[in-house]
Structure 1
């Protein structure tokens, strides 16, 4: 088993419960950690034997562009797509952060973290 991390993916998107958030948009950060068997690709040196982090990045960017009220909804969509599109992923954890959230204070970011395992 091994770990692949795709970290600090910066995206501009339109999520939130306030009209202003979905209209104006804001900056987000997404971090992803996946667990998969990396031994076959370590031996073969072939992309087809591992988890393609270009695919992971594309999934995140595409799902972040679909407006949602809650970051939890976005995180769940990202996880579902990862498990549907890459059979090698056994476990994934995604963190979605809203930078400078409009919550009435000096807050750098709000982050939700969600983990999912492949059903056997």
Structure 2
């Protein structure tokens, strides 16, 4: 099995259902595992035979800047964009966590969604 991982990409973004969340923003941490055949790149040492992870990061950064109410929506948008822009990807696993979400009277480290597509 071959995959590329981008781990713990950290963003400050303005997502949330409550107006204050969208105004102040919060910290989000995103992990991606991208499955694709890069065996040819192992031998050629040519970026054209792989996937440019900087391009993936820039795509994620752009989508994280678009305000959403739900982290499920953000995760779905990122997956769709990756599938469109990088058709050689066979499977994507994405985990998106919102750190210290506002939680009426509770203390919670993070809330996260996980999508495998």
Equivalence map 1:2-21=2 (5 Å): 2-21=2-21
Aligned residue for 1:109?
A: 110
1:3 Cα deviation from its structure 2 partner: 0.8
**Over residues 74-96 of structure 1, what are the superposed CA-to-partner deviations in whole Å (9 max), with x where a residue is unaligned?**
00110011111112211001111
Residues 50 and 88, structure 1, Cα contact 8 Å, conserved in 2: no
Partner Cα distance (1:93, 1:99) in 2: 20
Structure 1 runs (4+) greater than 3 angstroms displaced: none
Decide whether the 8 Å contact of 1:26 with 1:98 is kept in 2. yes
Q: Residue 112 of structure 1: CA displacement?
A: 0.4
Q: Name 1:36's counterpart in structure 2.
A: 36
Q: How many residues align?
A: 116
For the aligned residue pairs, the C-alpha RMSD in angstroms reads: 0.8
What is aligned with 1:24?
24
CA distance in 2, matches of 1:23, 1:79: 25
The structure where strand makes up a greater share of residues is 1
Partners of 1:81 and 1:44 in 2: CA distance: 27
Within the alignment, does 1:72 sit opposite 2:85 as a pair? no
Where structure 1 has 5 or more consecutive residues not aligned to the other structure, the ranges are none
Q: Which residue of 2 aligns with 1:51?
A: 51
What stretches of structure 2 of length at least 5 have no aligned partner?
A: none
Secondary structure of the corresponding residue to residue 83 of structure 1? helix
For the residues of structure 1 that align with 2:35 and 2:18, how far apart are their CA atoms? 35
1:62 matches 2:53 = no
